[in-house]
Amino acid sequence: MAFRTRLSLIHLLLLGALALLSSFVTVKGESPYKFYTWTVTYGVISPLGVPQQVILINGQFPGPKLEVVTNDNIILNLINKLDQPFLLTWNGIKQRKNSWQDGVLGTNCPIPPNSNFTYKFQTKDQIGTYNYFPSTAFHKAAGGFGAINIYARPRIPIPYPLPVADFTLLIGDWFKTNHKTLQQRLDSGGALPSPDGMLINGQTQTTFTGDQGKTYMLRISNVGLSSTFNFRIQGHTMQVVEVEGSHVLQNVYESLDVHVGQSLSVLVTLNQPSKDYYIVASTRYTTSKLSVTGLLRYSNSGVPASGDMPPPPPEDLDWSLNQARSFRWNLTANAARPNPQGSFHYGTITPTKSFVFSSSAPLINGKQRYAVNGLSYVSSETPLKLADHFNIPGVFSTNAIQSVPSSAPATVATSVVRASLHDFLEVVFQNNEESMQSWHLDGYDFWVVGFGSGQWTPEQRPLYNLVDALTRHTTQVYPNSWTAILVSLDNQGMWNMRSAIWERQYLGQQFYLKVWDPVQSLANEYNPPDNLLLCGKAVGRRV
């Protein structure tokens, strides 16, 4: 009897140990893997009524939606069937410790024609509305863009009721001219013409259908090359709930300005009489006014849309500026991780370095260029990340671009700004031109703490919002104005800081930020991938 009791006790202890081990395995299990194969080809379609060559992904224009969950691992085999080298960049995806997968020419060799590259990255600690697009040549003018929608893990609550469904709206200006012709125009020193039209999801007429009384999420991205647009829905208001991964105070708007490269999510309740309603996006602050319309259709509607189109807001900058300042971080909401967004008190941290980056549009050697602090960026045949990793000299300069503007004549360079891992930067984008500008940083979100007119001076720091400024990856800079951001450099790598206005990016308004630590550690940065493409001076190196 005693022997049986001892056996039973041992049995129970073993079961308990197995149960405990099982719980550890569950907790430490990897996040899900999702596998994709995308083939990039040319195709001929007529988005503005004229046949033209566009870039298709798996035969689609726009490309397939990448719909994933926070922390999913993405394994995406990209097959290039174009006649030129090609890359996709994942706009707003932080690529934690992994700038090897960023998909820009400073970090990756382009994929040769009739070849492939498999991207491997994780949507680590992110939730929200993003997109992808080509970063090579002037391919963005031909398409190749698509949506990235990152949904929250079920265990992490979001600060609003779940919508019935969501709709993706990729909106932007569009040119009828072939992308190679546009590129040749820029290469010869000319400027782009005005866009010919606007598209919503690659079309001039799109319909979204929902049920009366229900609430839907609209995921809106500006995937255009140059134009800010204002978005509005006839007879309906929009509740902004997320901006590029940040949950925000849920203010209600009748219309929204969305600048080039930016994304946001809104909730719309179908609380009007059952019929069709106009959706309108129209360009802002441009001499040539363009618009595109869609329809919001109630599922039981038998009445076509009628009446006047919803009018745009005032054209003056103050209206847009006040709206931008009204976007505030929701300090009590969880982000993609189960801690409040506002638990990181950015406003109490003293910056370790400050930069003022002033844009300009100089002529260099008789050709139109764009510059930052007098430096116009030129790409290298050897990606900067590879040159840095393999210690290849002469590829880029870390002392060409200065921390403040200078009066020296503009020149060209492959410019890199060096910073240390865990630096906390203050960056001011100074715009002394008459056009709207838009700035993006790969690998990071940053706090947009201030907008102001005229020339920035240190005396304007007390105007910064150091409490609940939202984080995002792309910010507008108004004409003859400045925008200030704060960024915590917690992501080691080589990261592109660029104009989201694609003509300006192509002609030099960009540089790279090298976030560096002298101690090599996998805790800070991953090793290069086994399938790393080599080009330029990196050919023949061992990974």
Is residue 403 helix, strand or coil? coil
Cβ proximity of 144 and 55 under 8 Å:
yes
Give me the pLDDT at residue 29, please: 65
Strands of 46-165 (E only): list them. Answer: 52-57, 66-69, 73-80, 88-91, 115-122, 128-134, 146-151
User: CA–CA separation, 359 vs 510, rounded Å?
Assistant: 10
* Confidence (pTM): 0.94
Give me the pLDDT at residue 23, please: 35
Residues across the chain:
543
Q: Right CATH number for 346-535 from 2.60.40.420, 3.10.20.600, 3.20.20.150, 3.20.20.80? A: 2.60.40.420
CATH 3.40.640.10 fits 158-323, yes or no: no
Q: How many other CB atoms are there within 10 angstroms of residue 435's CB atom?
A: 16
DSSP letters spanning 61-84? SS---EEEETTPEEEEEEEE-SSS
CATH level 2 (architecture), domain 29-154: Sandwich (2.60)
Residue with tokens 């934690």: 96
Sequence ranges of the domains in the chain? 29-154, 158-323, 346-535
Q: Do domains 29-154 and 158-323 have the same CATH topology?
A: yes
Residues sharing a CB contact under 8 Å with residue 54, sequence separation 6 or more, in sequence order: 42, 43, 44, 45, 47, 61, 142, 143
Cβ proximity of 374 and 357 under 8 Å:
no
DSSP letters spanning 452-468? EES---GGGGGGS--SS
Is residue 530 helix, strand or coil? coil
Give me the pLDDT at residue 10, please: 37
pLDDT along the chain (543 residues), means of 10: 37 40 45 98 97 98 98 98 98 98 98 98 97 98 98 92 97 98 97 96 97 98 98 98 98 98 98 98 94 98 96 95 98 91 95 98 97 98 98 96 94 98 98 97 98 98 97 98 98 98 98 96 97 98 87
User: CA–CA separation, 205 vs 245, rounded Å?
Assistant: 28
DSSP letters spanning 312-324? P--SSHHHHHHHH
Residues sharing a CB contact under 8 Å with residue 247, sequence separation 6 or more, in sequence order: 158, 159, 241, 329, 330, 333, 334, 335, 341
